[in-house]
Structure 1
Amino acid sequence: MPGPTCGAVQVEKRYDLPVQHGTRVDAVRRDAGRLLVEAETGTWLAKAVISATGSWSRPFLPAVPGRSVFTGRQLHTVGYRCPADFAGRRVIVVGGGNSGAQIAADLALDGDVEVTWVTQRPPRFLADDIDGRALFDVATARRRALYAGRDDTGGVAFLGDIVAVPPVRAARDAGLLHVKPMFAQFTADGVQWADGHRADADAVIWCTGFRPALAHLALLNLRGPRGHIPTDGTRALGEPRLHLLGYGDWTGPASATLIGVGRPARDAVREIAGLL
């Protein structure tokens, strides 16, 4: 787990919690009626385990045909630093979310990069006056509706996919964001669309998100559709001693956000207390 924040340190001291920082868990397995947690610093037998490794440490790259034959540079969003790294190059940015829009705008506004922005569907920009506060309010309303058993309002996703921050607005309004549909395959020196049209490229930046970091749970053989572990609330259906917290709506409405994680966290602790 990462190093502690100031608030976390205060909680640890107040409750005298034996927290191990900087410790990587390699595997969780069943052992003698308990769960054995194997880490680089030792092993622990547990009556219950909460996995909260999140969805932001495992970059996802789609399996596009020919990706291995492309001789240009490929990198994920996490490896992008600045336009200067691509000066004089032809760059394809893949992804219709905030990261794709912001990186495409960053490169396009620089003026020394030839940018092609590729998305699965036409980009959906939120209204220019939508800011972080408005998004927080929309997400809060959705969470409250779901917890009250009312219809899903759709939350932020209902409004659009891309927050029109100033650089994105500037590039969009200047006509610098040239959007194309997703290509069908790679070639050695670029990409090709289904209609046979080709484009040369020196680099492809994958703004394609992340997947839940669940490799440490592989030995429990719990994976279901889309790589998720089926749960009832936060409890794994195939292993009642395991709870998953903070991976998205499948582990509780908005549970991957600070605003939404509180309730499923309390529910998980309540269930574990009952189990023990």
Structure 2
Amino acid sequence: MHVNAIDVDVAVIGAGQAGLSAAYHLQRRGFTPVARDPGAAQTFVVLDANAAPGGAWQHRWESLRTATVNGIHELPGFPVPPADPSTPSRDALPPYFADYERRFALEVQRPVRVRAVRRADDDPDGRLLVETDRGTWAARDVINATGTWTRPFRPYYPGMERFRGRQLHVADYVSADELAGERVIIVGAGISAVQLLDEISHVAETVWMTRREPEWIEEEFDLATRSAAIAGVEARVRQGLPPGSVISVTGMHWTPWARAAQARGVLVRHPMFASIEERGVRMPDGSFIVADVILWATGFRPALDHLAPLKLRTPEGGFRVAETRSLDEPRLFLIGYGPSQSTVGANRAGRAAVQQIVAERADSHTASVAA
């Protein structure tokens, strides 16, 4: 037993889609939540920074409905209950996550904020210490499932600190009502940017800006296209490059809200501004656009700062990962990262990580018996 630490076989960090998937598969493979039975042969713990179940869904904007949300997928072993398509996803999905945790008695520990993950010693087969604001866990393996929602990305532009209006990120956005009657610059080329452009343009004057001209794809975003996109992201993370977005691989596919914005004449892309001033933005050609609000729909970055003590980040800014496993720290699994960022991918990644942990333990047991 490590001094002042609770020993577990597996520590899962995060209780969103990926983390709950991993917990489910751990339990199916004979692991027991340590809170239920500290003396069990194989134990795990799930640590979640949120005060309540629901992962990032509980923080999504109010107008994101179950009918239009991109990527609802059921957790393993328990289907999503039928819901009114007009129900906000942040109202419909957290209760489903809560029911899931109760149904499978996953004993999620919350709110627990992980401050650092570090090696207990120099033994490559030793423990990883998961240090939190509520104590330390010493784990044989760590499954990191912290997602991206807590790390909104806001690119820096000269003068942004001088802007007298409001600057919001998608993570701060609640509904279009708070922007009614204002001039809003929406920055970003992803699905969220276009969806919010369509929504906000009903009540406010909007200007849509992106760094590059969007490449609109007419073909359906089918299985082959998805597979190619995932393969592209997977190749990047294997090399230690930042994952990038699926859209950067596939281009922009038409969605109902993109078509709706186009039909109303608001799907008009402008190049990015060169700088920000007190009352608006200065364009590259010297012209000026007055703005009340700048909405940054510029994506998120993986929430992995707590892994810094392991010194795994590459010079390019990523983590070298293959089949969910860190190539530079085999006791660490990164799920919901890179190719497994989607809800479907997160489910599969949770299962894949657990399969590898179980298989390695079986091999170790066979080797020790043979010896």
After TM superposition, the score normalised by the length of structure 1 is 0.79
The yes-or-no answer on 1:116 pairing with 2:207 is yes
1:53-132 counterparts in 2 under 5 A?
53-110=146-203, 113-127=204-218
Q: Aligned equivalents of 2:226 and 2:264: distance in 1? A: 34
CA separation of 1:263 and 1:177: change in aligned 2, threshold 3 A: closer
Q: Name which of structure 1's ranges 59-68 and 169-178 shifts more when overlaid on structure 2.
A: 169-178
Q: 1:241 Cα deviation (Å)?
A: 1.6
1:121-160 counterparts in 2 under 5 A?
121-127=212-218, 135=221, 137-138=223-224, 142=228, 160=251
Identity %: 41
Residues 139-175 of structure 1, C-alpha deviations (whole Å, 9 max, x = no match): 66548989xxxxxxxx87766425422x432331121
Q: Aligned equivalents of 2:221 and 2:110: distance in 1? A: 33
Residues 227-246 of structure 1, C-alpha deviations (whole Å, 9 max, x = no match): 32122332223322211111
Q: Aligned equivalents of 1:236 and 1:10: distance in 2? A: 31
Q: 1:272 Cα deviation (Å)?
A: 2.7
Choose which of 277, 280, 301 in structure 2 pairs with 1:211: 301
After TM superposition, the score normalised by the length of structure 2 is 0.60
The yes-or-no answer on 1:20 pairing with 2:105 is no
Q: 1:268 Cα deviation (Å)?
A: 2.4
Q: Aligned equivalents of 1:139 and 1:35: distance in 2? A: 38
Q: Name which of structure 1's ranges 21-30 and 134-143 shifts more when overlaid on structure 2.
A: 134-143
Alignment match, 1:231 = 321
Alignment match, 1:268 = 353
SS of match in other structure, 1:109: coil
Alignment length (residue pairs): 253
Q: Aligned equivalents of 2:254 and 2:149: distance in 1? A: 19
Output the amino acid matched with 2:202: L
Choose which of 177, 183, 189 in structure 1 pairs with 2:273: 183
SS of match in other structure, 2:104: helix
Alpha-carbon contact 2:149-2:171 (below 8 Å) kept: no
CA separation of 1:262 and 1:170: change in aligned 2, threshold 3 A: closer
Q: Aligned equivalents of 2:337 and 2:287: distance in 1? A: 39
Alpha-carbon contact 2:184-2:293 (below 8 Å) kept: yes
Q: 1:88 Cα deviation (Å)?
A: 2.8
Choose which of 120, 136, 139 in structure 2 pairs with 1:46: 139
**Structure 1 runs of 4+ with >6 Å offset:** 143-146, 155-158
Choose which of 286, 289, 292 in structure 2 pairs with 1:202: 292
Cα RMSD (Å): 3.0
Q: 1:217 Cα deviation (Å)?
A: 0.8
Q: Aligned equivalents of 2:272 and 2:210: distance in 1? A: 5
Q: Aligned equivalents of 2:175 and 2:114: distance in 1? A: 33
Structure 2 runs not aligned, ≥5 long: 1-47, 54-96, 233-245, 365-371
Alignment match, 2:119 = 30
Choose which of 162, 169, 173 in structure 1 pairs with 2:263: 173
Residues 208-252 of structure 1, C-alpha deviations (whole Å, 9 max, x = no match): 111101011112221125532122332223322211111122xxx
Q: Aligned equivalents of 1:38 and 1:238: distance in 2? A: 20
Higher relative contact order (CA 8 A, sep 6+): 1
